[in-house]
Amino acid sequence: METNTNLNEVSRLSEGAVFKGEITTPNDIRIDGLVEGCIMSKGRIVVGENAKVNGDIICTNVDFSGTMNKGTFYVQDTLSLKPGCSVDGDLRFKRLQVDLDAKFNGNCRVLSEKEFEQVAKTQGIKTPVQPKEAEAPMAQETPAATPENNE
């Protein structure tokens, strides 16, 4: 059986650990400790039930079960607030899933792809999910012959 996620590529901050600063990873990350600062991932961020985050979260997807005392989520795709979580901060996302018993105090707004790219650029990172490779430009169609331009 083949899996898509290599466990060796998942970063982890275990319970009891304290991190102050900025975390940037191209891989998924699981937070079970305390983070004082910004967390950025090109993948999924999972914040466990006992985890605390004081800072912004910028990622593709997030499953949030912990506590955020101040900060903003910038989520390119889906933000999931899990039962028992407590968020005192703003939510910016493409899609939002809020489970029963999730607590949220702040503003929430749908985030466009352009706005997300601007946030990522401001933080000095490339957009977590790179757009699909640009296809070759389509040849410009010439206007159909009409009596006015068919002389």
Q: How confident is the model at residue 90 (pLDDT cuts 50, 70, 90)?
A: very high
> By three-state DSSP, how is residue 117 classified?
helix
Query: What is the C-alpha separation between 16 and 53, in angstroms, rounded?
Result: 13
For the four alpha carbons of 73, 31, 104 and 20, in that order, the dihedral sign comes to: negative
- Among all chains, which residue has been given the structure tokens 């985030």? 111
Closest CA to 128 of 97, 85, 94, 91: 94
pTM of the model: 0.77
**Sequence spans of domains, the chain:** 10-113
Q: Maximum Cα–Cα distance for the chain, whole Å?
A: 81
pLDDT of residue 126: 62
Secondary structure in 3-state letters for 89-131: CEEEEEEEEECCCCEEECCEEECCHHHHHHHHHHCCCCCCCCC
- Among all chains, which residue has been given the structure tokens 């331009």? 149
Q: How confident is the model at residue 125 (pLDDT cuts 50, 70, 90)?
A: low
Mean residue pLDDT of the chain comes to 83
Contact 53, 70 (CB under 8 A): no
Structure tokens given for 101? 């018993």
**Per-residue pLDDT tens digits for 130-143:** 433 433 444 444 44
For the cut 50, the answer to whether the pLDDT of residue 128 exceeds it is: no
Q: How confident is the model at residue 82 (pLDDT cuts 50, 70, 90)?
A: very high
Residue 36 β-bridge partners: 20, 54
Count of H-run helices and E-run strands, the chain: 1, 16
For the cut 60, the answer to whether the pLDDT of residue 84 exceeds it is: yes
For the cut 90, the answer to whether the pLDDT of residue 123 exceeds it is: no
Higher pLDDT, 129 or 118: 118
